[in-house]
Amino acid sequence: MATSALPKRQDVPKEHTWNLESIYQHDDQWEQDFKKLAGLIPQLAQLSGTLGADGESLLDALQQRDEASKLLFQMYVYVHLRHYEDLTNPHYQALTDRASSMAAQFGAATAFFEPEILAIPDQQLDEFFQSVDALGVYKHELSDIRRQREHIRSAEVEALLASAQDVTRSPDDIFGMLVDADLKFPVIKDDKGNDVELTHARYVPVFMESPNRDVRRSAFEALYTTYGNYRNTIGTSFASHIRSRMFFAKARNYKSTLHAALEPNAIPISVYTNLIETVNDNLQHMHRYMLLRKRLLQLDELHMYDLFTPLVSNIDVKYSYDQAREMVVAGLTPLGGDYVNHMRHGLYEGRWVDVYENVGKRSGAFSWGAYTTQPFIMMNYQDNLDNVLTLAHELGHSMHSFYTRRTQPYVYGSYTIFVAEVASTLNEALLTHHLLQTTDNPRLRMYVLNDQIEKLRATLYRQTMFAEFEYEAHRRMEAGEALTSETFSAFYYDLNKRYFGPEVVVDDLIRLEWSRIPHFYSSFYVYQYATGIAASTALAKQILSEGQPAVDRYLKFLSGGSSKHSIDLLRDAGVDMTSPEPVAQACQVFGELVTQMEQLAAQIDGERRN
């Protein structure tokens, strides 16, 4: 596959493609299912008004809904994955549009389910469960819907709130259009002295990872000076977004915007506040890493534009895809024979992975699938260690889906965002441990250590800093304080000083970084990245120290889907996210990795001098 020109899709060897034929052998079968689903959706709509009649009627409606939903997502996944193989293929673009339209019809046809379930009196629903044994499988789902009863308003108010969504999303739309369409960055010099236009996509890989400090500084100043020119507009947009969240929280009888974000998934507010408090109690590890970074880069002053450049570069070690597969299998051996055997099947004869880049193929990497399908992984594999780790990461998602779908009924055959990154980052942690145990090359060990440190810095510390900024912004506005771009910038700057510590020159322009983070328009979302990697770090540590008992708990977690609340699934696995301990353990692991890197750097320095 190492050629100068990308192959066309039809020229890619079958063994390097994913097995979409396991869903449909040909598109005519998809068309048959499309017609079948088109007939099922009107039948679902006709069930309106029947769910509260008796237990049998409720069960029948839920089963019909699930069968239609199962078919819909099988069809939806198939055509989207075909489309991603070659984005220039108009045939599958048309089929994805049809699938999306069908999904919208399904949503409209089943919109009555939740209101009718909420309208069933508790005593009557209990009688339904007693009289219809098969309804028991839906008990957790129905209880979860009814748990939100106090936050569901009358039909008239719900209709009004739904209409208000179109208006209140305006701040998000304005921000998106401004930064993606209207914001223009200047042309600056790259490493080779070429004039290159600064863009969001080029900012980190082209400029901020550059070994040339002048290039990094120029990019940093150009980016934030440009954002600064629009700070008042973006500040008003963000403040309006917060006010919209306050409106919906109040309308739905939540105690706060944070409560409104966490309560639907039964996440206690203490999980959020413990995260912030515990990371702040462990900032000394971050400060020590900043000192190490300053020393290894041989800088008198470490600035904000020095935080992305690699500490170890020019690692000329290539890993073929065949080598990558075997490295991942070896690294994940601690998860036991059942896990490894199923994963190996997916990597080889199961053809879960679409391996290499081809003309028109979507960029990046992801794992996806439907309840009725095998997992599928898109890669654009390059022969380097980053891609080996990416393969392990995506296999974590795939194996989570595999165990969930193998074990749970359809209604619980998925998992929440709160736990979505646990399995993927755990795989990376185990593979990193394996590489450090089996690698003698000092520079490669430094690279692996730094890669894991940077992942924890970016995910545990940085995302918690973002979470604290969100928390403070919403808290102040809910307390009646009028916030502007200047107040947002002031406390964001103070957060950077506290998180990065005395070894970093916190450049004044970094106070504007909040203005370019799109996740802030999905309120209280980013904390889940930090809690996810904290949970996976704790679980990996248990697996490596306890062995089989920890593995058994972990596999049960993977198999749980959404049959319990996410916080309970993690607690059963051995990680209580309502306590500070998992986050504290993750911070401790970060500190241990920094210590290892300090020692290895001293060793390499000593050998160089000798």
Residues 6+ apart with CB under 8 A from 575: 535, 538, 539, 582
For CA atoms 525, 529, 535, 536, give the dihedral sign: positive
Residue with the two structure tokens 């706060």: 256
List the one residue out of 542, 383, 528 whose CA is nearest residue 459: 528
Cα–Cα distance, 377 to 368 (Å, whole number): 6
Beta bridge partners, 195, equal 189
Question: Containing H/E element for 584?
Answer: helix 581-609
252-260 — which CB contacts under 8 Å span 24+ positions? Answer: 252/151, 252/152, 252/153, 252/161, 253/150, 253/151, 254/151, 256/474, 256/475, 256/478, 257/474, 257/478, 257/523, 257/524, 258/471, 258/474, 258/524, 260/151
Cα–Cα distance, 404 to 78 (Å, whole number): 20
Catalytic status, residue 394:
yes
Phi and psi based region of residue 533 (left: phi greater than 0; alpha: psi -120 to 50; beta: remaining): alpha
Let me know how long the chain is: 610
Estimate the crossing angle of helix 55-85 against helix 27-45, to 10 degrees.
150
List the one residue out of 269, 270, 302 whose CA is nearest residue 286: 302
- Do the Cβ atoms of 565 and 454 come closer than 8 Å? no
Helix, strand or coil, per DSSP, at residue 193: coil
Phi and psi based region of residue 315 (left: phi greater than 0; alpha: psi -120 to 50; beta: remaining): beta
Residues 6+ apart with CB under 8 A from 272: 258, 262, 467, 471, 524, 527
The four Cα atoms 371, 372, 375, 378 give a dihedral, to 10 degrees, of -100
Estimate the crossing angle of helix 462-478 against helix 527-546, to 10 degrees.
140
The residue annotated as part of the active site, out of 394, 468, 470, 513, is 394
Residues 6+ apart with CB under 8 A from 508: 493
Catalytic positions, written as ranges:
394
